[in-house]
C-alpha cells in the first residue's frame, strides 16, 4: 500500500463523511435516505466495523503467510482456501437464510468468525502458528462467510422501505469502497508498530461489534421462506432464477463482472511494471483513482432513492465500463500514456460502481421475501469466483499478451450487457417494472395502516 493510496482512501472516507454526517441544524435532510431509518442506521454502523475487520484480516493473513513461508505459492493457497468455500457453500447458505431466523444467523456467523480470528491471533502471539493453521482458518472463515452473506443480504431490506433500496445498497457498497484502502493501511501500521497478532485481535473485534449490534437490534418478524427438504429448497431457488430472464441477466452480469471485468486488478502489476513502467507507486495511483471513482459514484447513488433510469444505469454502465477497460488495456500497451491510464481508471471506477449497485438494488426490489436468501446466495457465489479471474486472465495472457487478455475481458462484459438488452424488452424496461413494484409496495403499506 503506497502513501498515495492511503491519502486517496482517506480523502474518499472524508467525502463519505460529508455525505452522511449532517450539520446539526439540518440533520434529517442531510442524511442519505436509507439512514433515516434507525434500525438500518445501527446495522450500517455495525457493518462498517465488520467490513473493516474483514479487510484487516485478509491483509494480515496474507502478510503472515508470506512471513512464515516466504512463498508466493502459499499466498495462492490462502486465496484459494478463502474463495472455494464461497463457491461451494453460498447456495446452501441461501437456503439456510430462508429457513432460519436471519438475525440469529448473522449473530452466530459473525461471532464464529471473530472466534476463528482470535484463535489465529493467539497462535500468532504465542509463536505457535504454522502455515496449515492459516489455511484451515481461512477455509473455515470462508465457509462461515458463505452463510453470513446471504443472511445479511436477506435481512437489511426489512429495515427500510423499498423506495430507498438504491440508497441502502449504495451505503453498503460505500463501506466496502471506503475501507478497502484505509483498513488495509491501518493493518499495515499495526503490523509495523506492534505485530500480526494485534492486527488480528482488532480485526476480530470488528466482527464482534456487528454481532453485538445485531443482538440488540429490533427487526420485524420475517416469515421463513423455505421449509422441508433443503435439497428441494435449493432446486426451487435455482429453478426460480432460471425461469426469470431478468434474474438470470442480473446475476449473469455479476458473474461476467467478477470473472472477466475485474481480472485487470490481478494483472495490474504487469501494467505498472512492464507496460506503463511506473512501478509500485504508479500502481498505487492507478488503483487509488479507480477506488476514488467507485466511491464517488457510490456516494452519489447513496443520496438518491430508487431511480427511473435503473435499466439504463445497468446496461449503459456495464457497456461503458467494458469499453473503458478495453480502451485502458489497448492504449496502455500501444500509447503508454500514464495520464490517460489514470483518467480511464477513474472512469472505470465510476461506471463499475454505477451498474453493480444498480444490479444489487434491482435484485433486492424484484426478489420475493420467501426467495431472498437463495437468490442472494447465488448472487454472492458469483462474487466468490473473483479470485479465480486472475487465473483465466493470466492463462490467456500467456498466449496473446496481458493487454489483449484484459481487453477481451472488457469486451465480454460490454457484449453480455448489450446483447440480451437488445433482444429482451423486459430488460430494456426494467426501470418501469421497478417503479410499478415500488408503487405496489407503497400502496400495500398504506392499506395496512389502521384507519383513524
How much of the chain, in percent, has pLDDT values that exceed 90?
27
Angle formed by the axes of helices 372-384 and 230-243, nearest 10° = 80
The pLDDT confidence band at residue 307, using thresholds 50, 70 and 90, is low
Instruction: Determine the pLDDT at residue 410.
Output: 94
Determine contact, residues 139/86, Cβ cutoff 8 Å.
Answer: no
CA atoms within 13 A on the CB side of 258: 18
Query: In the structure grid, which three cell numbers stand for residue 83, read together?
Result: 474463495
Chain centroid to CA 194: how far?
Answer: 30
pTM, two decimal places: 0.74
How far apart are alpha carbons 289 and 326 in whole angstroms?
Answer: 17
Higher-scoring residue by pLDDT: 416, 18: 416
Instruction: Determine the pLDDT at residue 46.
Output: 93
How far apart are alpha carbons 270 and 105 in whole angstroms?
Answer: 42
What number is the average pLDDT over the span 255-283? 83
The pLDDT confidence band at residue 219, using thresholds 50, 70 and 90, is confident
Q: Where are the alpha helices (DSSP H) in 21-101?
A: 27-30, 38-69, 72-99
How far apart are alpha carbons 63 and 200 in whole angstroms?
Answer: 11
The pLDDT confidence band at residue 300, using thresholds 50, 70 and 90, is confident
Instruction: Determine the pLDDT at residue 440.
Output: 60
Query: In the structure grid, which three cell numbers stand for residue 429, read together?
Result: 424496461
Angle at 343 between CA 340 and CA 345, to 5 degrees: 110
Domains and CATH numbers, the chain: 3-10+22-440 (1.20.1250.20)
The pLDDT confidence band at residue 306, using thresholds 50, 70 and 90, is low
Q: Where are the alpha helices (DSSP H) in 156-220?
A: 165-193, 196-216
Determine contact, residues 15/32, Cβ cutoff 8 Å.
Answer: no
Higher-scoring residue by pLDDT: 134, 91: 134
What number is the average pLDDT over the span 259-287? 82
Task: Give tens-digit pLDDT for 394-451.
Answer: 888 888 888 999 999 999 999 998 887 677 676 667 767 666 666 665 555 445 444 4
Instruction: Determine the pLDDT at residue 227.
Output: 67
Contacts of 306 (CB under 8 A, 6+ apart): 162, 163, 164, 165, 166, 361, 365, 434, 435, 438
What number is the average pLDDT over the span 357-377? 82
Determine contact, residues 200/117, Cβ cutoff 8 Å.
Answer: yes
The pLDDT confidence band at residue 85, using thresholds 50, 70 and 90, is confident
Amino acid at each position: 500500500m503506497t502513501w498515495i493510496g492511503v491519502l486517496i482512501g482517506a480523502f474518499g472516507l472524508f467525502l463519505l463523511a460529508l455525505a452522511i454526517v449532517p450539520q446539526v441544524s439540518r440533520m434529517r435532510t442531510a442524511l442519505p435516505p436509507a439512514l433515516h431509518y434507525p434500525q438500518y442506521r445501527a446495522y450500517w454502523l455495525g457493518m462498517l466495523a465488520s467490513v473493516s475487520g474483514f479487510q484487516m484480516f485478509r491483509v494480515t493473513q496474507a502478510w503472515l503467510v508470506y512471513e512464515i513461508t516466504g512463498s508466493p505459492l502459499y499466498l495462492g493457497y490462502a486465496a484459494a482456501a478463502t474463495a472455494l468455500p464461497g463457491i461451494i457453500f453460498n447456495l446452501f447458505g441461501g437456503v439456510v437464510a430462508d429457513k432460519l431466523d436471519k438475525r440469529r444467523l448473522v449473530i452466530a456467523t459473525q461471532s464464529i468468525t471473530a472466534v476463528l480470528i482470535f484463535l489465529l491471533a493467539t497462535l500468532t502471539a504465542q509463536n505457535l502458528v504454522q502455515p496449515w493453521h492459516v489455511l484451515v482458518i481461512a477455509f473455515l472463515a470462508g465457509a462461515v462467510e458463505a452463510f453470513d452473506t446471504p443472511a445479511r443480504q436477506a435481512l437489511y431490506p426489512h429495515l427500510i422501505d423499498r423506495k430507498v433500496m438504491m440508497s441502502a445498497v449504495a451505503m453498503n457498497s460505500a463501506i466496502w469502497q471506503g475501507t478497502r484502502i484505509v483498513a488495509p493501511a491501518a493493518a499495515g501500521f499495526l503490523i509495523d508498530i506492534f505485530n500480526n497478532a494485534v492486527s488480528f485481535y482488532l480485526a476480530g473485534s470488528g466482527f464482534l461489534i456487528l454481532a453485538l449490534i445485531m443482538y440488540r437490534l429490533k427487526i420485524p418478524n420475517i416469515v421463513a421462506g423455505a421449509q422441508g427438504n433443503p435439497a428441494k429448497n435449493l432446486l426451487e431457488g435455482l429453478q426460480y432464477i432460471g425461469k426469470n430472464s431478468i434474474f438470470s441477466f442480473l446475476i449473469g452480469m455479476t458473474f461476467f463482472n467478477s470473472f472477466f471485468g475485474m481480472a485487470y486488478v490481478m494483472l495490474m502489476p504487469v501494467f505498472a511494471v512492464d507496460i506503463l513502467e511506473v512501478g509500485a507507486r504508479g500502481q498505487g495511483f492507478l488503483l487509488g483513482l479507480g477506488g476514488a471513482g467507485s466511491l464517488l459514484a457510490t456516494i452519489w447513488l447513496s443520496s438518491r432513492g430508487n431511480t427511473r433510469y435503473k435499466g439504463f444505469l445497468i446496461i449503459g454502465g456495464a457497456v461503458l465500463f467494458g469499453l473503458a477497460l478495453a480502451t485502458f488495456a489497448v492504449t496502455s500497451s500501444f500509447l503508454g500514456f500514464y495520464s490517460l491510464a489514470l483518467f480511464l481508471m477513474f472512469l472505470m471506477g465510476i461506471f463499475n460502481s454505477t451498474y453493480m449497485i444498480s444490479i444489487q438494488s434491482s435484485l433486492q426490489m424484484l426478489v420475493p421475501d420467501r426467495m431472498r436468501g437463495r437468490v442472494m446466495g447465488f448472487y454472492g457465489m458469483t462474487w466468490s469466483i473473483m479470485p479465480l479471474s486472475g487465473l483465466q486472465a493470466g492463462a490467456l495472457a500467456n498466449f496473446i499478451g496481458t493487454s489483449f487478455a484484459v481487453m477481451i475481458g472488457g469486451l465480454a462484459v460490454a457484449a453480455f450487457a448489450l446483447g440480451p438488452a437488445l433482444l429482451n424488452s423486459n430488460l430494456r424496461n426494467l426501470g418501469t417494472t421497478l417503479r410499478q413494484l415500488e408503487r405496489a409496495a407503497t400502496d400495500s403499506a398504506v392499506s395496512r395502516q389502521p384507519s383513524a
